[in-house]
Amino acid sequence: MAQTRNSTVLRIVKTQATPNNFTSPPRGWNSWGMEANPAINPDFSFNQTHVLKQANALLAAIPEQDIQNHDYYISLDSGWSVGDHGDLRGRIIYDSSKFSIPTLANSLHSKGLRLGVYVLPGAFCKDSNKTISGTDIPISATLSGNNNGFARCDFDFEKDGVQQWHNSVVDLFADWCVCSLIQSDLLCVSLPCRRGVDLIKLDYITPGSPDNGGNLPPNNSGSVIAYHNAIQQASRTMRLDISWKLERNHTFFHIWESNADSMRTDQDVNNSGSTTFVAWATIQRAIDNYRDFISRVVSTESDQPLAIYPDMDNLYIGNKESITGVSDIQRQTIATHWIGAAANLITGSDLTRLDALGVKLLTDPAGQDVSNFTARYPMQARNPGTGRNDSKQLQAWIAGPDDGGDGRAIVVLANYGPDQGQGGFGTYIQGSQAVKATWEDLGLSGIYEVSDIWAHKRLGTAHKEVEAVLAEGESRLLSLLPMSNGTNIIAGAQ
């Protein structure tokens, strides 16, 4: 059956401030890729010394102005905390054989960086007889009876004490003092309090997350609500990033969007245990999962702006092909899609071994300008030839146009190459292909000045379409500015 053209006009997707009042996705570095792929850099150990080396490499690569203008995080993944018990009040504590969170936070904050940590739902089962800080409620009185298989017992979110426990954990994170090593409720009277955590990554949320060897309850979304409420009452602002591939039906999407600042749209993309970070097949999957995410947003009847950013997992673009696992043109395509989607721009690359392309993709002023735009106008798929948003090997995307400003739009043309098993489109066209998107496909009209973002090059005016011949895995990131608004100024364009 022949495809029919989408009869609906373009619905411009917009993003407003998130529940914790963020207006752009986070940037920075996360440790998981280096932890899960130790063969990539055998010299790396997950401890404070080596994390600070990554942080210093980030600072050496990112212009100081960008650090000042955006939130850059050093995000510690699984393994930073003690794995089977908390402090005397059952609160999460750091593994002092690897980290001193107060001194790490102090060091990062002094450099203009922020600190992120990783947590799982539930309290440690070993802590069930401990009393929640500020209450006379034992942790055992708050539990549902389910051991989730990760040394933690799940909460019954209807019970008194559950929110108080979350508040106590987040309060500790917010004002982690040097004297917190005492692991008591003593006030830090004589020692200065050094600000602590700025981002919480909450993993294994259901529905959505697979058990992965555990015993997850079918619905622990109450944990997202409890952590959000705890952040709201804390002494400092924090981001809440929830993970991993989460249920996206209306009921649960509303919960995620009302409480979290970003949500995972896919499983992990890294090749755990491999000598490279990613495979192209996995990237195809991640892009298609974002397409599904944003297409559901487009299909809703509400005109309310989006209030959550997608987390497509770590951005593996910083290292050469033999380390990253994909070609240079594919690395650029990854950067293009993560930026276009307004996804979390937290890399998992080895920052001590960035190459020239990696630095460019992480710092290019024109790319940064696009990321600022898509933080307000995330891209959506518009199939060449139909304007639909189905999964396609030869694909077009549009972000905007900016209907409250200069009318600018960002357009991406892509050839993902043959489906490698998880791409969703199920076609196997080989070699370079012409990818064309007409104004009708994109929902545009008029004359535009077109610029190639990564090439820093003006391509001239376009009256009805944009087109590019693209190799397998290649894409183009284009800026379109209506001619009535003058010249399209792109940093470095010639």
Instruction: Name the residues annotated as catalytic.
Output: 203, 268
SS3 381: strand
Count the neighbouring beta carbons within 10 Å of the beta carbon of residue 447.
13
- E-only strand ranges, 99-142: 114-119, 123-124
Closest by CA position to 468, among listed 490, 430, 425, 437: 437
Given a contact cutoff of 8 angstroms between Cβ atoms, the answer to whether 376 and 397 are in contact is no
Q: What is the DSSP letter of 194?
A: P
Instruction: Give the integer Cα–Cα distance in Å for 333 and 474.
Output: 6
Cα dist from 454 to 100, 101, 319, whole Å: 40, 38, 18
Expressed in percent and rounded to 5, the helix, strand and coil fractions of the chain are 30, 20, 50
Helix axes 48-61, 356-363, angle to 10 degrees: 80
Burial letters 158-181, b for 16+ CB under 10 A, else e = eeebbbbbbbbbbbbbbbbbebbe
Distance of CA 170 to the CA centre of its chain: 21
Closest by CA position to 132, among listed 101, 191, 172, 177: 172
Instruction: Give the integer Cα–Cα distance in Å for 462 and 483.
Output: 9
Instruction: Give the integer Cα–Cα distance in Å for 222 and 162.
Output: 10
